[in-house]
Structure 1
Amino acid sequence: MAHPDVVVVGAGVIGAACAEALTARGVSVLVLDRGAPASGTTASGEGNVLVSDKEPGPELVLAQASRRRWPTLLAELREELGPVAEVEWEPKGGLVVATTSVAAQPLADFAAAQRGAGVDARAITASDAAHLEPHLTKEIAAAVHYPEDAQLQPVLATTTLLAAVRKRGSEVRGAVEAVGIERHGGSVKALRTRHSTIPCSAVINACGPWSGTFSRAAGAPIDIQPRRGVVLVTAPLPTNTVRHKVYDADYVGAVASGEADLQTSAVVESTQAGTVLIGSSRQRVGFDDSMRVDVLRELARKAVRLFPILADAQIMRSYGGFRPYAPDHLPIIGEDHRLPGLWHATGHEGAGIGLAAATGQLLAELFTGQAPHVDPEPFRVDRRP
Structure 2
Amino acid sequence: MKVVVVGAGIVGAACAFHAAAAGLDVTVLDRGPVGAGTTSRGEGNILLSDKEPGPELELARLSRDLWDEAGEELGPDTVELEAKGGLVVASTPDALTALHAFAASQAAVGVCTEPVERVRDLEPHIAPGLPGGVHYPQDAQVQPVLAAAGLLRAAVRRGARVHTGEAIAAITGAGGRIAGVRTADGTVLAADAVVNAAGTWGGEVGRRLGAPVEILPRRGFVLVTEPLPPTIRHKVYSADYVANVASCDAGLETSCVVEGTRAGTILIGASRERVGFDTAMNPAVVAALAAQACRLFPFLRAAHLIRAYRGFRPYCPDHLPVIGPDPRVPGVVHACGHEGAGIGLAPGTGALVTAHLLGRPWRGADPAAHTGLLPDRFLTTGGMPK
TM-score exceeds 0.5: yes
Which 4+ residue blocks in structure 1 deviate beyond 2 angstroms? 179-185, 371-374
Task: Give the C-alpha shift of residue 167 in structure 1.
Answer: 1.3
Query: Match of 1:122, as an amino acid?
Result: E
1:66, 1:328 → 2: CA distance?
20
The answer on 1:351 being equivalent to 2:341 is: yes
The answer on 1:104 being equivalent to 2:90 is: no
Contact kept? 2:196, 2:206, Cα under 8 Å: yes
Query: Match of 2:52, as an amino acid?
Result: E
Task: Give the C-alpha shift of residue 245 in structure 1.
Answer: 0.1
2:170, 2:357 → 1: CA distance?
21
Contact kept? 1:230, 1:318, Cα under 8 Å: yes
Contact kept? 1:100, 1:139, Cα under 8 Å: no
Q: Aligned runs of 1:46-195 on 2, under 5 Å?
A: 46-78=43-75, 86-126=78-118, 129-195=119-185
- Which residue number in structure 2 is paired with residue 376 of structure 1? 370
1:322-369 deviations in Å (ceiling 9; x for gaps)? 111111111111111100011100011000010011110111011112
Task: Give the C-alpha shift of residue 169 in structure 1.
Answer: 1.9
Contact kept? 1:41, 1:321, Cα under 8 Å: yes
SS of the equivalent of 1:180 reads strand
Among the aligned pairs, what percent are the same residue? 52
Contact kept? 1:13, 1:38, Cα under 8 Å: yes
Match of 2:215 among 217, 221, 224: 224
Contact kept? 2:170, 2:178, Cα under 8 Å: no
Task: Give the C-alpha shift of residue 101 in structure 1.
Answer: 2.7
SS of the equivalent of 1:161 reads helix
Aligned residues: 374
Task: Give the C-alpha shift of residue 189 in structure 1.
Answer: 1.1
Query: Match of 2:13, as an amino acid?
Result: A
The answer on 1:257 being equivalent to 2:251 is: no
Query: Match of 2:106, as an amino acid?
Result: Q
1:181, 1:188 → 2: CA distance?
6
Task: Give the C-alpha shift of residue 168 in structure 1.
Answer: 1.6
Query: Match of 2:269, as an amino acid?
Result: G
Match of 2:308 among 312, 315, 318: 318
SS of the equivalent of 2:51 reads coil
2:111, 2:171 → 1: CA distance?
42
Match of 2:38 among 21, 41, 51: 41
Name structure 2 gaps, 5 residues minimum. 382-386
Name structure 1 gaps, 5 residues minimum. none
Match of 2:4 among 2, 7, 13: 7
User: More displaced, 111-120 or 39-48?
Assistant: 111-120
2:370, 2:97 → 1: CA distance?
33
Task: Give the C-alpha shift of residue 183 in structure 1.
Answer: 3.3
1:234, 1:29 → 2: CA distance?
39
Contact kept? 1:182, 1:192, Cα under 8 Å: no
- TM normalised by structure 2 equals 0.94
Task: Give the C-alpha shift of residue 121 in structure 1.
Answer: 1.0
Query: Match of 1:34, as an amino acid?
Result: R
The answer on 1:234 being equivalent to 2:225 is: yes
Query: Match of 1:344, as an amino acid?
Result: H
Task: Give the C-alpha shift of residue 192 in structure 1.
Answer: 2.1
Task: Give the C-alpha shift of residue 184 in structure 1.
Answer: 3.2
